[in-house]
């Protein structure tokens, strides 16, 4: 597991209160991990904080799985 | 005519995180007032309050993760609601859910959440504002959360009448059931304003006690000559009100009946009660009229009794005028032990009023060493007393000159 993936997973565990073992790379935050739409806004804020970047709204809308987040942050974080 | 009874009680307050624990402490003359330790009060004129320890907040009822997304007043309200609903044994399903509503208010709501987000906006900018900021601080979101959690689809609302909120919530719910718009209402109030902005705001209004910082448990002393203002408390009280036949059909335990409810406005001043006590008098009179009881059927007044120099005397005068011919009248203030829970005060005091009816025990007025007024009413100083009472009236008066009184009886 990459360092970025590990950090993203940690944030998802903390914010959504799900067990780490249940999170798959293609788990959807809303459909599979029980998040609601406000939770996903907060998740994106936590990613920004952790990775020191700003995720524009149109990019944030496309982050629906752990993999999406890792891909985006690998390309865009400092 | 539809009659309304109480079938469930719940509370979390400075004396305990449920009805039985806090009631036992109350009648044992314990005080829940301590020094404020959650934030630095060095520069505050008032350094004491009736706080609830975080360790007393049951994470099984509201998980820590859930708590992060709601203001503390909602957490406290959900805990009291859970106890009251479980106590009533009512499970809302199918058609009954449409006839079961919620009305739990708050005086101020998510004050600390608003304060914290205001600082974030100023210091870190708009992108750091939580998406949960607004839903965690809106007052009616407590009624919303309770309705979602317990499937209550009937009337859903939240009164906001400062320190009269809890009593208005219960009285308005009584009226809703009486008028056949619901069969059951989960009602009451919640407050969590022991935060920097809350304490400093009430201090600036010169409303808080500032003379017993070294002896916190002595700070709240209604009718005593050394009182200097109210001591703030936090917590919640929730009642389940139910139409009598509805309650009987499911063999619910009945604590008492709501017999009458009165409301009035002072039309006088933003923070002071009208000097002649006419507002409070008319609220009590309206409740008594609806109850069809005589003045001497009321055995006990669960007073508003905040420990402010002006308010206590005015309430006592109003009670004397309406009920004073009853030479056996009892009157005490729960605030002497738990402080003033603002929008939750009337609701927690309603819980204790019903416990007084149930257990025939009247809680004391703590710290009433030297009354500064002469009265024939027994203000029950220091220690609780045993008395078989039939009817109790509970008063709540709020900033803005809003008054509410409610009568519970066997």
B216: left (phi over 0), alpha (psi -120 to 50) or beta: alpha
CB–CB contacts below 8 A, A to B: 16
Mean pLDDT over B223-234 rounds to: 98
The reply to whether A45 touches chain B by the CB within 8 Å rule is yes
For the annotated catalytic residues of B, the residue numbers are 163, 304, 340
Given this model, what pLDDT does residue B110 score? 98
Query: Which residue of B lies nearest to A49 if distances are taken between CA atoms?
Result: B128
Calculate the CA B88 to chain-centre distance. Answer: 19
Mean pLDDT over A16-35 rounds to: 93
Identify the CA nearest to B133 among candidates B157, B115, B152, B117.
Answer: B117
Q: Is the per-residue pLDDT at B318 higher than 70?
A: yes
pLDDT digits (tens, 9 = 90+) for B243-279: 999 999 999 999 999 999 999 999 999 999 999 999 9
What chain B holds in terms of domains, given with CATH numbers, is 4-249 (3.40.47.10), 261-409 (3.40.47.10)
Identify the CA nearest to B355 among candidates B9, B83, B4, B5.
Answer: B9
- Chain B residues with CB under 8 Å of a chain A CB are 63, 65, 69, 127-128, 130-132, 135
Residues of B within 8 A of A45 (CB-CB) are 127-128, 130-131
Query: Which residue of A lies nearest to B136 if distances are taken between CA atoms?
Result: A38
Given this model, what pLDDT does residue B404 score? 98
Instruction: Say which of A38, A48, A54 has its CB closest to residue B131.
Output: A38
Q: Is the per-residue pLDDT at A60 higher than 70?
A: yes
Both structure tokens of A35 = 């998040």
pLDDT-based confidence at residue B350 (cuts at 50, 70, 90):
very high
CA angle A40, A42, A44 (to 5 degrees): 70
Instruction: Give the Cβ contact number of residue B387 at 10 Å.
Output: 15
Average predicted confidence (pLDDT) for chain B: 97
pTM: 0.96
pLDDT digits (tens, 9 = 90+) for B60-78: 999 998 999 999 999 999 9
Q: Is the per-residue pLDDT at B330 higher than 80?
A: yes
pLDDT-based confidence at residue A78 (cuts at 50, 70, 90):
low
Mean pLDDT over B191-209 rounds to: 97
List the catalytic residue out of A31, A32, A36, A57.
Answer: A36
Both structure tokens of A23 = 């999170």
pLDDT-based confidence at residue B98 (cuts at 50, 70, 90):
very high
What chain A holds in terms of domains, given with CATH numbers, is 3-76 (1.10.1200.10)
Q: Is the per-residue pLDDT at A1 higher than 80?
A: no
Given this model, what pLDDT does residue A77 score? 81
Instruction: Give the Cβ contact number of residue B249 at 10 Å.
Output: 11
Identify the CA nearest to A54 among candidates A44, A68, A63.
Answer: A44
Inter-residue contact A4 to A74 (CB < 8 Å): yes
The reply to whether A41 touches chain B by the CB within 8 Å rule is yes
Mean pLDDT over B278-296 rounds to: 98
For chain A, the farthest-separated pair of C-alpha atoms sits apart, in whole angstroms, at: 30
Q: Is the per-residue pLDDT at B135 higher than 80?
A: yes
Mean pLDDT over B281-309 rounds to: 98
Q: Is the per-residue pLDDT at B359 higher than 80?
A: yes
The reply to whether A54 touches chain B by the CB within 8 Å rule is yes
Binary contact (A45, B130; C-beta < 8 A): yes
Mean pLDDT over B103-111 rounds to: 98
């Amino acid at each position: 597991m990459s360092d970025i993936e590990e950090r993203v997973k940690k944030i998802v565990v903390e914010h959504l209160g799900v067990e780490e073992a249940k999170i798959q790379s293609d788990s959807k935050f809303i459909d599979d991990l029980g998040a609601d739409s406000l939770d996903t806004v907060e998740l994106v804020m936590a990613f920004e904080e952790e990775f020191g970047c700003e995720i524009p709204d149109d990019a944030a809308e496309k982050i629906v799985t752990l993999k999406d987040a890792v891909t985006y942050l690998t390309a865009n974080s400092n | 005519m539809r009659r309304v009874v109480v079938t469930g009680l719940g509370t979390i307050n400075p004396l305990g995180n449920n009805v039985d624990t806090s009631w036992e402490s109350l009648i044992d003359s314990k005080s829940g007032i301590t020094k404020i330790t959650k934030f630095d009060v060095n520069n505050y004129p008032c350094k004491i309050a009736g706080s609830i320890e975080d360790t007393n907040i049951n994470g099984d009822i509201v998980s820590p993760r859930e708590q992060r997304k709601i203001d503390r007043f909602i957490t406290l309200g959900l805990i009291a609601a859970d106890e009251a609903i479980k106590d009533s044994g009512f499970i809302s399903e199918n058609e009954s859910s449409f006839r079961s509503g919620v009305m739990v208010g708050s005086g101020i709501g998510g004050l600390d959440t608003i304060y914290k987000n205001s600082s974030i906006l100023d210091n870190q900018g708009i992108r750091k504002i939580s998406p949960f900021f607004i839903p965690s601080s809106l007052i009616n979101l407590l009624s919303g959360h309770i309705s979602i959690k317990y499937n209550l689809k009937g009337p859903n609302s939240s009164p906001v009448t400062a320190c009269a909120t809890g009593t208005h919530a219960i009285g308005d719910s009584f009226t809703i059931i009486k008028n056949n718009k619901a069969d059951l209402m989960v009602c009451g109030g919640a407050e969590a304003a022991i935060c920097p902005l809350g304490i400093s705001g009430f201090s600036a209004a010169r409303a808080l006690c500032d003379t017993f910082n070294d002896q916190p448990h002595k700070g709240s002393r209604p009718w005593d000559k050394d009182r200097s203002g109210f001591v703030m408390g936090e917590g919640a009280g929730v009642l389940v009100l139910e139409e009598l036949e509805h309650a009987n059909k499911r063999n619910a335990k009945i604590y008492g009946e709501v017999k009458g409810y009165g409301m009035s406005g002072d039309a006088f001043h933003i923070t002071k009660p009208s000097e002649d006590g006419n507002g409070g008098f008319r609220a009590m009179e309206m409740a008594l009229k609806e109850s069809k009881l005589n003045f001497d059927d009321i055995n006990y007044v669960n007073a508003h009794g905040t420990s402010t120099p002006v308010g206590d005397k005015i309430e006592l005068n109003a009670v004397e005028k309406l009920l004073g011919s009853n030479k056996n009248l009892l009157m005490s203030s729960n605030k002497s032990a738990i402080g003033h829970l603002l929008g939750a005060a009337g609701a927690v005091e309603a819980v204790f009023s019903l416990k007084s009816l149930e257990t025939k025990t009247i809680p004391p007025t703590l710290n009433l060493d030297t009354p500064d007024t002469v009265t024939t009413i027994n203000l029950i100083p220091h220690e609780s007393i045993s008395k078989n009472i039939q009817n109790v009236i509970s008063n709540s008066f709020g900033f803005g000159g809003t008054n509410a009184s409610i009568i519970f009886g066997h």
